[in-house]
Amino acid sequence: MFRKVFVLWSILIGFTIFISIQSYTQDAPEVSAKGKEVYEHSCAHCHGIEGRGDGSAAENLLPKPRDFTRGLYKIRSTESGELPTDQDLFDIITDGMPGSSMPGWESQLKADERWEVVSYIKTFYDGFKERETPPREISLEGKIAYSAESAQIGKTLYTDLGCIECHGNVGRGDGTSAPTLTDAWNDRTWPANLAENWNFRGGTDTEDIFKRFIGGIAGSPMPAFEGDSFLHFGLSSEESKRLSEMENKDEMTPEEEEESGKLYEKMDEAVLVALDRAEGTELTPEAQKIYDDAMKVVAEKSWHLANYVKSLSPEKRPETAIGNNSLRSQYTVEELPIIEDEAWNTLEDSYYPLVGQVVIEPRQFNPTIDSVRVKSFYNDTEVAFLFTWHDRTHNIEVEENEDTGTSYEDGIAIQFPVKPPKGPTDEKPYFLWGGKKPVYVWQWKASEQDKITELTVKGVNNVTVQENQGDLNVKGEYKDGEYRLWVKRALTTDDKKDLQLEPGVFVPIAFSAWDGANGDKDIKRVMSSWYSFVLEPVPSSRRFIYPPIVALLSVGFLIGLRGFVQRRNSASDEAETEQ
Amino acid sequence: MKRISLFTICFVIFIACWVFLQFVIGGVISKPIPNSVIGMYMALVLVAILVHVSVEDSRFKEFLRPVYETLVDDRYRVRRLVLVIVIPLLLTGFSYTNLAQKTPPPGDPRDAHPTPPLELKYKDEVIETMQKAQNPYRHYEKDDPETFRSHVENGKKVYYDNCFYCHGDHLDGQGHFAHGLQPLPANFQDPGIIPNFQEAYFFWRISKGGPGLPASGTPWNTAMPVWEDHLTQEEIWDVILFLSDYTGYKYRTFGEGH
Amino acid sequence: MKIKLLTSLAVLLVFSLGLIVFADDHGKSDEMNKLVFPKSYSAKAVSGGGKISGVVKFEGDLPEKKKLEINKDEAVCGAEDKYDESVVVGEGKELKNTIVYLMDISTGKDFDKKAKLEMDQKGCKFTPHVQIVPVGARLTMLNSDKVNHNVHIFSSINKEVNKPQPKVRKKMPLAAVKKAEGPVEVKCDIHGWMKAWIAYVPHPYFAVTNEKGEFTLEDVPAGTYKLGYWHEACGSNIKEPVTVTVAAGGEVKQDFTLKLKK
């Protein structure tokens, strides 16, 4: 009896344990303790303990840390609407997301730890365990190598597909829709500046650009251009070209109506196949062929477009203009070039990265201006500077907007000490708007583009507009997401509060810039610390005089030396023979 | 076998010394040595060589023999000709490049670890002398690990709410604003940072920021904010606990040898 | 002895069931602003069904009528003034764009397969503002404007959709979805003010109120049902649905009065 009871009990307990384990594992498959530990140590302060992207640091970040509970992942190698592959997640953790606050973790976490984190963050969204088939990956077949022609075709597509709506005419993220974009969490978001690829979140290779374009960027306004989303899906390149011609006419002739009608029918057929595929219907061989043919055209065009986008940026972020890279104003005997002058193209840009001002309240944690670039010429009496910087929006006044907040006026300030330091140990004014030692500032505002106000500043609350204005010639302009500001001034002025310039002397320079649409105003701004520039002296003409003299002297010396030695030798020989 | 001349030996030693200074010490072992310093060392080497060869008259003669021979002996006509061309050419080139050189940018004389003041202050309140000041929460590490953990956790929160923009997610000074800052934000993962300073030193640097530096620390350049304007004393001590907890480095304490 | 055994068995069973229930429940998020769908639904011909109809009215102070700021493509989008459509009422505060539906019906009529399922983008505005889409059916997006649009549907149970619809693409059918969901927001990111709602539903007993605040659910098999509503600005009654009993061939009137959700 006792034995029977025991057996029965054992079975019951075993069954119970089995059931409970079963139900738990169904709920959270393979929750790895290690992944949870690493996540909570390294990720949770931004992404939140529950993966909602609401860690304590999230408040001041934009782009916001990813909320893992909605299954929306920006950087994927998979088709639109699909979840990312594990490899995608692993790569993002490893490499980080440039232009955001997500760093690469390769140096901090071992590969197996990163994999553990991948499986852990997948538990935040049920879609991962519910998916029955592996995600469809974007095919990278048929890659077209970069060529100027390919980029040119891409450029046409860039306009036809509507990329300019957000990314702007030449890709600086200044499209007319840019100021109002929000993401799936209703957070403000900006279209990528395609001319600054070092801020691309998912990499700068042509393949990366291709994948973002085809698969879209989930949760963001960037649509997916795959399959039937592509313009004229189902037509060959030639047919598509012909149809574009007809579509761009105000009115079609009856013949054209008929011709285009046929093309539309062909497109409709292909679109229905694409929908069947998207819905998971098995395609007949004929349908599959229609789809494959259409996708070949899509891929071809997309590679052209990716090549075009790739061509808009330099290979990498330019070197900062510091040390031997510092800005050197170029001497010219001629009249200094005006803003439109081609002569500016002969100079290289000096690149100054700008970052948010986070020292004094109100702080700017999410800057939108990446950098300012400077070129300069000078002659015997004057110096001219050309400052350029990217800003997605042209704000010339205060504007209230319920969704995006108040926007202010754009501007830039160029800051110098009043007197150049005498040597490296001579104290400079405080980099942020001066202090006990004053700074001399050129302040430019977008609403008055041909004017600069000269300021003397001794700290945030001590800004004086100089009495003597008008020493500067100024021209400013905004076009396609870029400000250009041209300033010309005499090397020396009568005003004691101005900086006086002298060739060969390094002068500290710092920048502040305001993107009004990003809430920049007064001390809330982007800025740089001190750099320095020099009016590069004309290479001394002595370099043609002294070296020949040195040559003659040294030859003379050697001949003389030989003579001397010879004489001494013969003298000592004589002495020896005498002895 | 022909004996190698004393001159050649000296010449080789001289060049070897230079290579050693320029590339071995100033490249493989540590950072490049400034040219002025190398110049000084090389002058010493030269003097040493000259002293060595001129101690005995015969040795000096032996040393100078190849020079004499090159200058006068007809056997060495080719060598002589080559030298007469090469030496002036080198000198000419050197003087030209010297004259045509671009203006060198000013150096950075910054003292990265300036001397702290004698007293540790928070705002105007004197906490303790710099020597004696202790992290008031450090003792929990032994006494009450749970309370200690809560201070570290709070320090972590403070760090990620305020510091990581510049000092980085990894505490390595590579935050997403770091690329725009000169000097670079401190790297707490560098073994030369945390172990070399007391907690009080960190308190001083955090609370007074860039503007609180003495002139040798070039306070006009650094973007480090004055954190006593934003953080409480406890928050600053907590973040100091977090820095060593995260990196695994221990702060310097007096008594362990100075 | 046997009793002891049985009790233990019962205790263990309850315990394990409890674990299962707990495991199932855990992690469910707040679904207050969504619709409620039956676990399953089977379609069959309905004869002699009843009818539920009524009027939805708005109660309380109307939010200020907000004019939308048209900041691009003014020629096409700004031809006439546009207003925020989150609360649209008639003269007697009859509330448009409210979904009224049966929460717990498990058998009933099939969808009207012939009905056109279209959402237009005209004058840079989605019409209708609230669209019911049967699960498994294809919604066709129209672009009646000479400007580029993009259709961004923020699904979370189904796949997120974000497709460009350039000005030359007049009709764009969308792939059918597999699961009931919603309502989910639809946006055109190019024209940030363009917003609408789509509900993917598993059965045809859903109605959207018209300008007069009226709704009608027809061919409802006789029985007792929970009647729910959903409105963009006024929320839903998931927690306190109205119970209605429909007699064969009969008609039930049920009005609603909605307030802005807090």
Residue type, A557: F
Residue B78: predicted pLDDT: 87
Indicate the residue among A277, A311, A345 that finishes a domain.
A311
d(CA C98, CA C85): 12
A484-493 per-position pLDDT tens digit: 999 999 999 9
Percent of chain A with pLDDT over 90: 77
Whether residue A280 is contained in a domain is answered as yes
Residue A16 clears pLDDT 70, i.e. is over it: no
d(CA A274, CA B124): 72
Residue A401: predicted pLDDT: 80
At A9, the pLDDT band (50, 70, 90 cuts) reads low
Choose between A109 and A28: higher pLDDT.
Answer: A109
Question: Look-up: residue for tokens 């997948």?
Answer: A122
CATH of residue A446's domain is 2.60.40.1190
Choose between A497 and C102: higher pLDDT.
Answer: C102
**How large is the average pLDDT for residues A344-359?**
95
Average pLDDT over chain A reads 91
Chain C residues closer than 8 Å to A82 by CB: 159
Interface test with C, best of A7, A8, A11, A12 (most C CBs within 10 A): A12
DSSP H or E segment with residue A532: strand A531-535
CATH of residue A41's domain is 1.10.760.10
Question: Helices A2-27 and C2-25 meet at what angle, rounded to 10?
Answer: 10
A75-105 per-position pLDDT tens digit: 999 999 999 999 999 999 999 999 999 999 9
Residue C31: predicted pLDDT: 58
- In sequence order, the β-bridge partners of residue A315 are none
C159-203 per-position pLDDT tens digit: 999 999 999 999 999 999 999 998 999 999 999 999 999 999 999
Whether residue A143 is contained in a domain is answered as no
B152-202 per-position pLDDT tens digit: 999 999 999 999 999 999 999 999 999 999 889 999 999 989 999 999 999
Tell me the nearest-neighbour CA distance from C96 into chain A, angstroms.
Answer: 24
- In sequence order, the β-bridge partners of residue A527 are A355, A512
Chain A contact for B250 (CB, 8 A cutoff): no
3-class SS letters over A427-486: CCCCCCCCCCCCEEEEEEECCCCCCEEEEEECCCCCEEECCCCCCEEEEEEEECCEEEEE
Residue C60: predicted pLDDT: 92
Are A422 and A533 spatial neighbours (Cβ–Cβ below 8 Å)?
no
Q: What is the DSSP letter of B196?
A: G
Indicate the residue among A65, A98, A130 that finishes a domain.
A130
Choose between A59 and C119: higher pLDDT.
Answer: C119
Residue C29 clears pLDDT 50, i.e. is over it: no
C40-49 per-position pLDDT tens digit: 999 998 888 8
Whether residue A139 is contained in a domain is answered as no
Chain-chain contact of B223 with A353 (C-beta, under 8 angstroms): no
What residue numbers bound the domain in which A574 lies? Answer: 544-578
B47-78 per-position pLDDT tens digit: 999 998 888 888 888 888 888 888 888 888 88
Q: Is the dihedral of CA B234, B239, B240, B246 positive or negative?
A: positive
Chain-chain contact of B106 with A423 (C-beta, under 8 angstroms): yes
Residue B145: is the preceding peptide bond cis (ω within 30°)?
Answer: no
At A4, the pLDDT band (50, 70, 90 cuts) reads low
d(CA C94, CA C189): 30
Residue C24: predicted pLDDT: 41
A68 and A5 belong to one structural domain: no
At A576, the pLDDT band (50, 70, 90 cuts) reads low
Give contacts of B 17-36 with A, CB under 8 A: none
At A28, the pLDDT band (50, 70, 90 cuts) reads very low
Spans of all domains in chain B: 6-100, 119-247
List the single residue in A with minimal CA-CA distance to B85. Answer: A555
Chain-chain contact of A12 with C27 (C-beta, under 8 angstroms): no
Residue A29 clears pLDDT 90, i.e. is over it: no
Q: What is the DSSP letter of A357?
A: -
Tell me the nearest-neighbour CA distance from B79 into chain A, angstroms.
Answer: 13
Kindly report the length of chain C.
262
At A5, the pLDDT band (50, 70, 90 cuts) reads low
Chain B residues closer than 8 Å to A355 by CB: 177, 179-181
Chain C contact for A21 (CB, 8 A cutoff): no
**How large is the average pLDDT for residues A273-279?**
95
Residue A25: predicted pLDDT: 41
Residue A22: predicted pLDDT: 47
A226-271 per-position pLDDT tens digit: 989 999 999 999 999 999 999 888 888 999 999 999 999 999 999 9
A363 and A379 belong to one structural domain: yes
Chain-chain contact of A547 with B92 (C-beta, under 8 angstroms): yes
Residue C9: predicted pLDDT: 58
Percent of chain A with pLDDT over 70: 93
Residue C14 clears pLDDT 60, i.e. is over it: no
Residue A15: predicted pLDDT: 57
B125-150 per-position pLDDT tens digit: 999 999 889 999 999 999 999 999 99
Residue A26: predicted pLDDT: 42
A124 and A184 belong to one structural domain: no
pTM: 0.85
For chain B, list the contacting chains (3+ Cβ pairs, <8 Å).
Answer: A
Whether residue A343 is contained in a domain is answered as yes
Fold topology of B119-247: Cytochrome Bc1 Complex; Chain D, domain 2 (1.10.760)
Whether residue A421 is contained in a domain is answered as yes
At C140, the pLDDT band (50, 70, 90 cuts) reads very high
**How large is the average pLDDT for residues C62-71?**
89
Chain C contact for A165 (CB, 8 A cutoff): yes
Chain A residues closer than 8 Å to C150 by CB: 162, 221, 223
Which tokens is B96 given?
A: 């030209």
For chain C, list the contacting chains (3+ Cβ pairs, <8 Å).
Answer: A
**How large is the average pLDDT for residues A117-124?**
95
Spans of all domains in chain C: 31-258
Residue A344 clears pLDDT 70, i.e. is over it: yes
Report CA dihedral (B66, B68, B71, B77) to the nearest 10 degrees: -50
Residue C20: predicted pLDDT: 46
Residue C19: predicted pLDDT: 45
Residue type, A263: L
Interface test with C, best of A20, A251, A268 (most C CBs within 10 A): A20
Residue A27 clears pLDDT 70, i.e. is over it: no
Interface test with B, best of A101, A113, A352, A540 (most B CBs within 10 A): A101
Residue A439: predicted pLDDT: 96
Average pLDDT over chain B reads 89
Choose between A424 and A481: higher pLDDT.
Answer: A481
Residue C5: predicted pLDDT: 57
Tell me the nearest-neighbour CA distance from B194 into chain A, angstroms.
Answer: 18
State the CATH class of domain C31-258.
mainly beta
**How large is the average pLDDT for residues A278-303?**
95
C208-231 per-position pLDDT tens digit: 999 999 999 999 999 999 999 999
Q: Angle B13-B15-B21 (CA atoms, 0-180°, nearest 5)?
A: 100
Which tokens is C28 given?
A: 């469910």
